């Protein structure tokens, strides 16, 4: 009787150990979400993704730069939407069925802020160790170098990691008539 119980317990602890090993394996490096913008692939750390929504027309913000599409209602909070295709100066910015808005979190000063980013479609979620992230070549990409953090190779194609601290930085968004209201 006791031997049976002992066996069961042993088995369970082995299972647990195996599970832990699996988790540890998964845990190496970080998880990333990759998405498609104008045929190129970009990625962000998955921890900065709040949610993904289908494309809907946001409310226009006055005098906004072309890449700020407006604001939308995210369950009661007002969240701005930026079109990454415009931001990266891609020629085409079509709104199709696959077009989605990725709501990204970022710290701006002390506050956590949200920004919706329009992309052509979500591609994949993958693991990548920090050491496998290479530097962005200084040539080639038409994307502003402040917005890129590194390049990774995922199943034989290159994925550009985005630097959210600059991309979503409100100070780098050149919006006329801002910040002067309540003086």
Asked whether position 170 contacts other proteins by CB under 8 A, the answer is yes
Round to whole Å and give the CA distance between 164 and 148.
8
**Nearest to 38, CA basis, from 128, 141, 124:** 141
Round to whole Å and give the CA distance between 144 and 113.
22
Q: List CB contacts of 52: < 8 A, sequence separation 6 or more.
A: 100, 101, 102, 103, 122
Asked whether position 109 contacts other proteins by CB under 8 A, the answer is no
**Closer residue to other proteins in complex, CB, 2/77:** 77
Out of 5, 94, 111, 130, the residue judged to bind other proteins by CB under 8 A: 111
Ranges within 72-101 binding other proteins (CB under 8 A): 72-73, 76-80
Question: Which of these segments, 41-49, 67-75, 131-139, 159-167, binds other proteins (CB under 8 A)?
Answer: 67-75
Site string for other proteins, 23-62 (x = CB under 8 A): -----------------------------------xxxxx
What's CA 171's distance to the chain center, in Å?
19
Round to whole Å and give the CA distance between 65 and 74.
22
Asked whether position 155 contacts other proteins by CB under 8 A, the answer is no
Min dist CB 104 to other proteins, Å, is 11
Q: Which two tokens stand for residue 153?
A: 């190779």
Question: Which of these segments, 37-45, 70-78, 87-95, 149-157, binds other proteins (CB under 8 A)?
Answer: 70-78
Residue for token pair 């034989």:
156
Biggest alpha carbon distance in the chain? 79
Given the rule CB under 8 A, which residues bind other proteins?
58-63, 70-73, 76-80, 111, 113-115, 170, 173, 175, 177-182
């Amino acid at each position: 009787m006791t031997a049976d119980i002992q066996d069961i317990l042993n088995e369970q602890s082995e299972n647990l150990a195996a599970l832990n090993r699996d988790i540890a394996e998964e845990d190496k490096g970080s998880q990333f979400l990759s998405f498609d913008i104008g045929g190129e692939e970009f990625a962000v750390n998955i921890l900065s993704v709040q949610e993904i929504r289908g494309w809907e027309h946001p409310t226009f913000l006055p005098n906004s730069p072309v890449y700020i599409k407006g604001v939308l209602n995210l369950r009661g909070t007002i969240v701005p939407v930026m079109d990454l295709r415009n931001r990266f100066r891609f020629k085409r910015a079509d709104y199709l069925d696959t077009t989605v808005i990725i709501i990204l979190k970022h710290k701006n000063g002390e506050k956590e802020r949200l920004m919706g980013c329009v992309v052509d479609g979500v591609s994949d979620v993958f693991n990548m160790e920090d050491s496998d992230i290479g530097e962005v070549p200084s040539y080639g990409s038409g994307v502003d170098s402040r917005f890129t953090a590194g390049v990774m190779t995922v199943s034989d194609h290159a994925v550009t990691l985005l630097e959210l601290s600059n991309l979503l930085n409100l100070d780098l968004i050149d919006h006329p008539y801002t910040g002067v209201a309540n003086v």
